[in-house]
């Protein structure tokens, strides 16, 4: 079996964590990069093996990624073994939550893991991802999310030939989105309801009434009312079973301790924040999957 996980959301799922950029003008001298975080936490067992003895980041041989990205109006599918670089940028200097998510799942399961990442910056649940059962027209990015997931499986043998003999099985959805809705008072009021409908509709879409679903809190948003809506959507009685809300506020770092001091919407680009968020999301998913296996 191939354990497949759908990762979805907006720019913070795309990934704006800074790996190693360190010029003083644009990246605050490297404060808060992933490299700086690992330098300070190198003895943490969670990160052992993330880099080799020379400091180079290692690609896992048991976790793989398919990411249909769009940048500067051009779309292309990025595929390969999990490491840094699976972000909206076409470089090896950024990463997203997939790095921590994949590390947990790779450690927890004997079977190989495929992460199918679908994310676009500046998208709301109230409009862009609006699920089919909500009031209004289905959001175009809800449809694109589903289409790209199915396309990833259709091209599995081509993109990841080493996985050709494994039967893919969708084991869960990780959702990390919310900034645009938080910025809109009307969207905030209905976010909990829309999130519950999104969870229910994806379970219907993939014909799995107990499909594990993990939603990460928009912990970089100061408004508690919106974050309470995120939690409420996960705890709605209609979807609460096999659903987990993951707090992330504790991973927010100060701007002066981060690479991008003016990018609060992107966790200030802090590498430690993105890695810790991914670990928390992946850990919650692993626990949910274990309860149904």
Give the start-to-end residue ranges of the domains of the chain.
2-292
Mean pLDDT across the stretch 178-196? Answer: 98
pLDDT, position 57: 97
Task: Answer for the pair 265, 88: CB distance below 8 angstroms, yes or no.
Answer: no
pLDDT digits (tens, 9 = 90+) for 15-52: 999 999 999 999 999 999 999 999 999 889 999 999 99
pLDDT at 74 over 80: no
Please give the structure tokens belonging to residue 147: 């289409």
pLDDT at 100 over 80: yes
Task: State whether residue 88 is helix, strand or coil.
Answer: coil
Separation between Cα atoms, residue 287 and residue 160, nearest integer Å: 27
Confidence of residue 72 (pLDDT cuts 50, 70, 90): low
Output the CA–CA distances (angstroms, integers) from residue 99 to 45, 47, 68, 120, 189, in the order listed.
15, 11, 16, 18, 32
- Determine the topology of domain 2-292 in CATH: Rossmann fold (3.40.50)
pLDDT, position 115: 99
Half-sphere exposure for 232 (CA within 13 Å, toward CB): 13
Count of residues making up the chain: 293
Confidence of residue 184 (pLDDT cuts 50, 70, 90): very high
pLDDT, position 266: 98
Mean pLDDT across the stretch 257-277? Answer: 98
pLDDT, position 159: 97
Mean pLDDT across the stretch 256-269? Answer: 98
Task: Answer for the pair 52, 58: CB distance below 8 angstroms, yes or no.
Answer: yes
Other beta carbons within 10 angstroms of residue 34's beta carbon come to: 28
């Amino acid at each position: 079996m191939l354990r497949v996980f759908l990762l979805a959301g907006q720019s913070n799922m795309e990934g704006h964590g800074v790996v190693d950029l360190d010029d003083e003008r644009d990246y605050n001298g490297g404060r808060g990069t992933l490299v700086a975080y690992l330098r300070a936490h190198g003895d943490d067992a969670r990160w052992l093996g993330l880099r080799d003895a020379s400091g180079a980041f290692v690609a896992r041989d048991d976790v793989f990624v398919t990411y249909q990205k769009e940048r500067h109006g051009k779309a292309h599918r990025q595929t390969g073994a999990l490491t840094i670089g699976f972000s909206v940028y076409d470089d090896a200097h950024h990463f997203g939550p997939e790095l921590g998510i994949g590390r947990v799942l790779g450690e927890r399961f004997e079977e190989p893991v495929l992460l199918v990442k679908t994310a676009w910056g500046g998208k709301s649940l109230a409009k862009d991802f609006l699920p089919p059962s909500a009031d209004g027209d289905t959001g175009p990015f809800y449809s694109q999310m589903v289409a790209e997931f199915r396309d990833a499986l259709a091209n599995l043998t081509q993109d990841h030939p080493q996985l050709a003999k494994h039967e893919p099985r969708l084991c869960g959805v990780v959702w990390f989105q919310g900034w645009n809705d938080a910025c809109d008072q009307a969207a905030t009021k209905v976010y909990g309801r829309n999130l519950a409908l999104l969870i229910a509709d994806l379970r219907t879409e993939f014909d799995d009434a107990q499909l594990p679903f993990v939603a990460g809190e928009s912990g970089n948003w100061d408004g508690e009312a919106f974050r309470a809506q995120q939690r409420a959507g996960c705890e709605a009685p209609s979807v609460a079973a096999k659903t987990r809300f993951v707090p992330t506020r504790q991973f927010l770092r100060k701007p002066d301790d981060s690479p991008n001091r003016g990018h609060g919407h992107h966790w200030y680009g802090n590498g430690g924040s993105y890695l810790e968020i991914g670990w928390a999301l992946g850990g919650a998913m692993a626990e949910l999957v274990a309860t149904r296996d």
